[in-house]
Each structure stands twice: as C-alpha cells, then as structure tokens.
Structure 1
C-alpha cells in the first residue's frame, strides 16, 4: 500500500550552517544533485542536511513528518526514529531506503520511498513511501533486516546488501523497479560475518549489550565498484556506546557482486575475514557505518565517529580515499 508523505513547509533561511566536523549524525550517506550535496542519516523521520561545498551544512526538513503507518503496525514500539538510510538515483527518481527496528532485536524491516527531486523548494518535491521491502522476524529468520545498501552490477541487475549481527551480512537481488526483492529469502548468501565457522554459535554479547543478537558484531554493509572489483565495506565491534564505542571499518573485495569477498590476506569475509580500514584513536573513540561516494573525480569515505573531545558524541566525518595497490586507504 502506498502512502504519500506531505512534508510540513518550513523556512530554512533561519537555520544556521554548521561545519562538517561539528554536525551530529549517525549512519550518514550522501549524494550530489544539481550542485548541492545531500546528506541523509538516522533520526526522527530521517535527518536531512544540505551543503554547497561539503564543508558547511544546513539542516533540512526530515523526510517523514510522521512515522510510516506500515512501520508502526509492523514494529512494536516504533515511534518514528528511523535508522541507516541509503540513497540511490535510478529510473529518473531518487530511492531512499531506510530501517525500522526494535533496538537489540531482529524485529526489523527495510522500507523505501521515492522522490523525483531532492530540492525541497521544488514544486515537484514529494516523498512517496512504498512500504516494506523485506522484514526479519525473531525465531523465524537468523538475520536482521536493517542497514540497506543498493548497488547495480555491470549487467544492470540491482542488489541489496543488508544486515546486522545474527548470521551476518546478506545479499539479495532487487526487482527492476527497485521496490521489492527477488528470490527466496531462505537462500540468501552470507557475504560477511565475524564467525570463522558459519555453523558455530555466536559468542556471548558484551555485558550491557543486547544478548539475543549474540556476539557476531558486524553490520552496515556498503558495496562500491572500483578498478574492476566490488569492494565490501562493513563495520565491526560496537557502535552507539559513546565513550565506550569500539566501532571500526573493515573491507574486502570480489570480482563479482555475489562474492566471495576476500581481504588482503585472501581470507573470506563470510568466514571472519576483513582488512582493517579505519579504527578509533586518541581523537575518536570509534569510527564506522560508512558510505563511499565519488564527487568530481574524488572518492570520499563518509562515516560517523565518536568524538573523544566532546563526550563521545557522534559527528560527521569525511575523508578522501586513495587506492594504493588496489585497496582503499584514507588519504594522509
């Protein structure tokens, strides 16, 4: 069932711009359209920011003025706080995928909304919500339907990578209109996991963290095609703990979108592999949930970090990427 989302008209002129390193975001993703950079991130109704230069950002009106009705009906306790969006442009419109979930449980679903433009001042600006794309159910699925990412392969087939904890990161084909999945969800491959033995039980979760997810601490897949390879980025260890966050990013690559994805040592990511890309330091307690985008010929790593100089608050980080030896590395 389709729902038209009519956004509340709000003047943005009074909202001050903020430098990139100071805006508080979780799970950012970006796209450029008509000379403007658009950032979408976790928040009430999905947070939106715009920038003319990647340096100064202005908050926009959230995508949803109220929680999607289907999500309120499907996810007990859902109150409009939407996680981990992904934005793509195809078929002459923008597709915004998003996650709704009960924290620490795989009572979760991924939805999608579309818009012909991202310019909130345009008379054609209107998000149309198409509802659920895929859902996970405790006791029925050993995977978690959050953290979507869409990629289209060289044959024009689109795929969605997603997942968090449980059995790891999954991959499934998408329909041509990008509104639904194709294939048997019971046969989806695991493309990345922290478990070296796929048949082994998850180790116990850390104290104070959700126990039913186990200790398979991997999430936030992002696929990016470069130099004849598909690169799978993922985040491991623990986000969302402020000064106790241990988030870090790993990567592997494959000649085909379906994998297997191998790290620099040739270890498969679905058997515990993954080469370290970036981790916390004296300035950041943890770094993770990244996207990758190319703007004007430069690849950027887009992610959030927990600021060690500001009580572990999550902040936007943008770093340029180089590819020495065919592997991504943050530019020094």
Structure 2
C-alpha cells in the first residue's frame, strides 16, 4: 500500500474509534441535564409557571406592552414554541387601579372546577400599589372551539398603607380542601390569604393575611424575599421563595430557598431548622459555580407534578452568554433519602 493510502486508512480508523456509537450517543443524551437539552423559544422568559393539558406542556410568564402574559408550549418539555399572549391590553379595572402599569407580571396557572385559573400581577416597579387579577378559560388550546380567556377582575390589592405587596401570586389547595393564595414581594414578606372555593377571591374580604416568610432588613437596606410557591409532599407543605435581587441581568443575585411545615400557615423551616420568618430556609436553586458563572440569578420557581409521577421545577435565569437574557430553565426534582428535594440542574 502506498504511503498516502496508509495515512488515509489510519486516519479513517482513528475517526471510527473516536466517533461515538449509537449506544454511546444515547448514554450521553441520558447523562445530559434537561436544561442542556432545551431548545426553541426560550427567551425572554421571566417568572415562569408550568402546567400540562393533555399531551402539551404550557409555560406562562411575565409580559409587557401588547404581549400581556407570554405563552410557550412543548410536546416533550424540551422543544419550546412561543405562542400568542393571553391579553394584548390591560383590563379597564387594572388601568384605573394601577396608573402607569404596562405589564402583567408573575402569572400562576391551575385547573379548578372545570376551568383554568390564571392569576396575574399588575404593578409598577418598586411600588406596593399593586393588584392581583384573575382570568379563566375552559382550555389552554387556542385551536379548541371553547378557548378564550375571561377576565374575572380584581382579587387582592395593596396600597402604600399596607405592609405587603400584592404581586407574585400562587394558588394552592390544602389537604383539607381549602383554597389559598400566597403572594408577596419585599415589604414585610410573604402572605397567605384564604379564598372562596367558587370565586377564587378572598373568603373574607378585608381579612388579615397569615405571614409565612420574611427577611428582617439589615442595617443599610432591604433583604428581598418574593415569588412564593407552595406544594404538598410527604405530609409537609413546602414553600419556595426567591431571595435577593432579580431583574439585573448578569448582575442579578437571585437564588431560591425552600422550607417545610406541617401546617400550610407555617412555620416553614429549613433543613437546619432555620425559620423562613427570620430569613432562613435551605438553598434549592443557586447560581452556577464560580468557575462557570453562566447562569445567574436562578429564581421565581414554579412546580410541575407530572402525570407520570415525575416532578420538575421551572424557573428563569440570566444567561451570561446572551447578554443576560432571562431564559426558561427546567430541572427534574428528586426526593433525597432525608426527605428533602434536590433539583438536577
């Protein structure tokens, strides 16, 4: 064999040895995190929540201008496609209640009494003159004949006279069948209101809410806490909340903590017993390790308990490789031997 032919044959042999087999490719894909496989319309996604209807996953997130509540769908949790916004204009009651607002923030989605409930926030940045509204629809599929969102109006409002901020809603049904809405951002922390089962609005208008998480402010500034989400597992209620600052791109310091309680009204404690009413809890989602530093400020977490029994946490993080774009992130969650959740992100 001529020398060029020998070199060519050797090169082809090396390529064959280096090329992964089908089994190796499958193994690598299995080892890859779900986040590393996400594709499609992932940005901008801020404050996401997730739900499944039939064979389709739906993500709802903050929207502004004429795209009030962004929507995304996926058949497999991996490939995502952006859809039409839920609304293109704020309802009249919201523009009157919160002058200057041009967005619907931090939605929450659930299925109750034959309709999907979409709670949303209306506010202006840094103010606690805020309101939570409610919209409902029979289906999430825009192609279905009965699709259409009906605004149900104001649910809860806060003003400068209140010690809480009526944004970041999350709906939850407790083990006794009572309905609740948790909410809050900054001010005196996270609150919990009991709801009327039929209307989805406060059971006792004017009621004083339960306080379930706060961060006592240190000297020289606030200690942010926001974006609550409550789920039930293993005889406990679990409260996720985001600490520190979002919305600063790669300079965001957001991270997510979790605590648990036997009662939905608290007290919620971290794994070490630290009370979330004192700024405690256990870190659940944190920024990438310092040597990587790509995904900053992971927070505003939501939860999906899928019909196959698997659990996922959905959240946003700011991508340093894309000028800090808020990006959709999803991670499977497993329950550790100690009974605490671990996100594989």
Q: For the superposition of Structure 1 and Structure 2, which TM-score range results when normalised by the shorter chain?
A: 0.7 to 0.9
C-alpha distance in structure 1 between counterparts of 2:159 and 2:136, whole Å = 26
Cα shift at 1:57: 1.2
C-alpha distance in structure 2 between counterparts of 1:20 and 1:291, whole Å = 20
Cα shift at 1:322: 1.1
Of the three residues 55, 67, 92, the one matched with 2:90 is 67
In the alignment, structure 1 residue 132 sits paired with structure 2 residue 154 = yes
In the alignment, structure 1 residue 89 sits paired with structure 2 residue 111 = yes
Note if contact 1:31-1:293 (Cα within 8 Å) is conserved in structure 2: yes
C-alpha distance in structure 2 between counterparts of 1:304 and 1:145, whole Å = 21
Where structure 2 has 5 or more consecutive residues not aligned to the other structure, the ranges are 1-37
Cα shift at 1:309: 1.4
Of the three residues 257, 262, 278, the one matched with 2:264 is 257
* Structure label with greater radius of gyration: 2
Greater mean deviation of Cα atoms: 172-181 or 157-166: 172-181
Note if contact 2:72-2:83 (Cα within 8 Å) is conserved in structure 1: yes
C-alpha distance in structure 2 between counterparts of 1:41 and 1:204, whole Å = 32
DSSP 3-state at the match of 1:109 = strand
C-alpha distance in structure 1 between counterparts of 2:208 and 2:304, whole Å = 30
C-alpha distance in structure 1 between counterparts of 2:206 and 2:312, whole Å = 32
Note if contact 1:20-1:317 (Cα within 8 Å) is conserved in structure 2: no
Of the three residues 192, 197, 211, the one matched with 1:171 is 192
In the other structure, the counterpart of 1:6 is none
Cα shift at 1:148: 0.2
In the alignment, structure 1 residue 120 sits paired with structure 2 residue 133 = no
DSSP 3-state at the match of 1:187 = coil
Aligned residue-pair number: 299
Q: 1:40 to 1:160 in 2, by over 3 A?
A: same
In the other structure, the counterpart of 1:161 is 182
TM-score, reference length from structure 2: 0.84
Greater mean deviation of Cα atoms: 105-114 or 278-287: 278-287
Q: CA RMSD in A?
A: 1.5
C-alpha distance in structure 1 between counterparts of 2:105 and 2:93, whole Å = 16
In the other structure, the counterpart of 1:4 is none
Of the three residues 208, 220, 232, the one matched with 1:225 is 232
Note if contact 2:43-2:325 (Cα within 8 Å) is conserved in structure 1: no
DSSP 3-state at the match of 2:162 = coil
In the other structure, the counterpart of 1:149 is 170
In the other structure, the counterpart of 2:29 is none
In the alignment, structure 1 residue 292 sits paired with structure 2 residue 315 = no
Cα shift at 1:328: 1.1
C-alpha distance in structure 2 between counterparts of 1:270 and 1:231, whole Å = 14
C-alpha distance in structure 1 between counterparts of 2:248 and 2:189, whole Å = 20
In the other structure, the counterpart of 2:294 is 283
